[in-house]
Structure 1
């Protein structure tokens, strides 16, 4: 039995409304992965150490937080946008938001030797591999 087209359209519009309401609530804000995969990250290995390159356009350095524990990296922060109180908006496509992303690393790192640099919206994090994770050459007797 087929549903009338008007009823199908009504159902789809109701579903769309529900999805938009869910996106605009604070429900997703406390999750450690936030909404979707943000910020975008490239991860590669260089000399057995991990290097993260993270895109964070419009985020101020002082609004970033980086934490490393065991084999987990956590990036959190916020992008704020303020144009002033007497501003008339014609279009808003860049929004202020908070993010919180946790990434499991393939191995443990030396957390006290982690270095980070931030320049022009790119965050580069160097994570030295823990000595216990590095291969050991075994002498044959």
Structure 2
């Protein structure tokens, strides 16, 4: 009689390997997700070094630049053209009575032109802030 009870007890103690495999897989997925999140959120060593170097310098260099409207338009459009390589949307920037961003893009298979009219103002730090006034399509 005892042998039957022991063999019945052994039969009940079967391990469910699928359950343990699922738990292991779940732990790997969660661990990997936490590791990736930690890497994304934490600043890298290179960024820390740059921050330390820039924060240790208390003086900032200033450069005074004087340009007429044509020089300003040419300079801005040179950098915009370099940035727009292999992009679907093309635009240019012009300063005249107002600052205008003019461009073209494809919309539903048709070429569409657009213009964004802005009013430039100078901030206390000397930067130029553009306030959008109107958009034309």
Q: TM-score range by the shorter chain?
A: under 0.3
Q: Which structure: greater helix fraction?
A: 2
- Of structures 1 and 2, the larger Rg is shown by 2
Q: Relative CO higher for 1 or 2, CA cutoff 8 Å, sep ≥ 6? A: 1
TM-score by length of structure 1 reads: 0.22
Structure having the larger proportion of residues in strand: 1
